[in-house]
Amino acid sequence: MTVFCLGSINADHVYQVPHLPAPGETLAASAVQTGLGGKGANQSVAAAKAGSVTQHIGAVGADGVWAVDALRGFGVGVDHIRTSDAPTGHAIINVDPQAENAIVIFAGANLDQSAVDIQAALATGGAGDWVLIQNETSHQVDAAKAARTNGVKVAYSAAPFDAEAVKAMLPFTDLLLMNEIEAAQLSDALGVKTADLPVAKVLITAGAKGVDLLDTKTGEIVSNPAFSVDPVDTTGAGDTFAGSFVAGFEQGLSDVDALRRASATSAIQVTRVGAATAIPDAAEVEAFLSAQ
Ligand code: RIB
CB-based contacts of 221, cutoff 8 Å, min separation 6 = 212, 213, 214, 215
Nearest CA to ligand 1 atom 1: 236
Mean pLDDT of successive 10-residue segments in the chain (292 residues)? 98 97 97 97 98 98 98 98 98 95 97 98 98 98 98 98 98 97 96 97 92 97 96 95 97 97 97 96 97 94
Residue 185's pLDDT is: 96
Topology annotation, domain 2-9+37-88+109-290 = UDP-N-acetylmuramoyl-L-alanine:D-glutamate ligase (3.40.1190)
Q: Which of 142, 212, 239, 255 is catalytic?
A: 239
Q: What is the pTM of this model?
A: 0.97
Instruction: Decide: 7 in ligand 1 pocket, CB within 6 A.
Output: no
Residue 41 annotated as binding?
yes
Residue 1's pLDDT is: 94
Residue 274's pLDDT is: 93
239 is catalytic: yes
> Contact 59/6 with Cβ under 8 angstroms?
no
Residue 208's pLDDT is: 80
Domain segments of the chain: what residues? 2-9+37-88+109-290
Helices assigned H by DSSP within 101-233: 115-122, 140-149, 163-169, 180-190
Residue 207's pLDDT is: 83
Across the chain, the runs of DSSP E, i.e. the strands, are 2-6, 10-16, 31-37, 53-60, 77-83, 89-95, 101-106, 130-134, 153-157, 175-179, 201-205, 211-215, 221-224
